Amino acid sequence: MIKHDLSMRVFVILFCSLFFSASPSVAEESADAAFERVRRALWTEPARTQVETALTDLKRLAEDGHRAAQAALGRMYYIGDYVRPDLNRARALLKPAAEAGLVKAQMTLGEIYFEEAIHKVDHPRATKWFLAAAQAGNPRAQFIVSQYAMPADGMSPYPPPAVAALPKDRRAAIAWLRKAAEQGQPDAQRQLGLRYVLGEGVPEDEDKGYAWIQKGMEQIDPSGARKFHAEEVLEAVFSLSWRILLPWYDEWKLGARFADELEDFAERGYGYLGWYLSYWPMLASSGDSKEEKRRRDLAIQLGAEAGYGPAMARHDLPSDPEDLISPDGWAFRALVSGSAEGAFRIGFWLLMPLGLPDKAYPWLILAARAGHRQARDYVQIPTSDISDAQIVEGSFEASRITAEHGLRLRKLEPAAWCIKHLPFGCR
């Protein structure tokens, strides 16, 4: 009997050891479940009592090689979300996840190398990861790759430099552009539309071109989308954007004339065109300073009243912090409308004029999470002035605000800043 019991115990032990060693998915499922719990506690269903445990578990998962955890923690170190920004740690975490094929990690790593490329000329490493993400189907990456591959022409007079991984090839560039547009990427839709109207790299087809412009416009200015329907309006949008967004053309010298046209459109409620008008003084030096200020103030007011998020974010900002974050305030209304610029403006105003870094941090993180590049830059300022505990608290507050108001922020940033700093826009 004893001998039989001993044999049974040995059998059970051997069976269990063989079963569990042959089932790596059990451990993997457990890690996936832990990561999902962490994700909920930190972002989607924020729970303050679980934050410290979630952060500890996330770091443990990343150390154990869980790729999604590495990608998430790497992005956190990139933008300063729950932790102090640290690009070296961000790269170290993102690289194995990117090499394993995680598109989010590839995109973030590409962004890091591209932003460094502005100063350090590291385009090859940036394009490596953008290309990987594009091949995996990411529409934003596909648009970026199209711009790297596009030779200089009427639409792209100053494209990014050629790199070994992406030689200049107009046919390949148009193919990437089309893939991005078909997946709904607004920059790609607008550029493809303009190319059809002009016959740049594709057969000239105004109807098809205006249809693509329409799709792109509907995404970037939902408030005015219903108004961008008649062909004469699309023609006006095209003629204005062509001259204003491409300042290297001779028509650029006719700035005052087109500023008048923009003002007319802004007064008719086209928030997006009104926003270009507000940036006119930055894009052209026409008219005296009083006239420029008048146009800027008018455009911001009209764009805000039309419901365009970035214009609302800059309109009538109060000096009292409580009024600034009031749901009735313009910046908060921009935030609720889905504009990351609203969160950035609240954070910027709390940080710079009012000098409240701990209160500014949650709002800057909100915008940085949505990919707002200026917000990512400005996050560096408060993180140097506040404690680790305040960083955690601020990130949790950003998650709480997101959950409370059901925010889905879009990266709508000032067009002039995008043109000045990035060869392919902000979205």
Q: Is residue 267 part of a domain?
A: no
Q: Is residue 387 part of a domain?
A: yes
**CB-based contacts of 359, cutoff 8 Å, min separation 6:** 321, 350
Q: Is residue 401 part of a domain?
A: yes
Rounded Cα–Cα distance for residues 287 and 136 (Å): 48
Predicted confidence pLDDT, tens digits, the chain (427 residues): 444 454 554 444 444 444 333 333 334 458 999 999 999 999 999 999 999 999 999 999 999 999 999 999 999 999 999 999 999 999 999 999 999 999 999 999 998 888 765 556 568 888 899 999 999 999 999 998 998 898 877 566 456 777 777 889 999 999 999 999 999 988 888 789 878 877 888 998 888 887 887 787 666 555 444 444 434 444 444 444 444 444 433 333 434 445 555 556 555 555 555 545 444 444 444 445 676 666 667 666 766 766 666 667 777 777 788 888 888 888 888 888 777 888 998 999 899 888 999 999 999 999 999 888 889 889 988 888 899 999 999 999 999 999 998 887 765 433 333 333 333 333 3
- Please give the C-alpha separations between residue 389 and each of 137, 348, 355, 394, in angstroms, as whole numbers: 38, 21, 19, 8
Total structural domains within the chain: 1
In 3-state terms, the chain is what percent helix, strand and coil (to 5)?
75, 0, 25
C-alpha dihedral, 333 to 339 to 341 to 342, nearest 10°? 20
How many angstroms separate the first and last alpha carbons of the chain? 74
Domain interval for residue 334: 323-405
pTM for this model (two decimals): 0.72
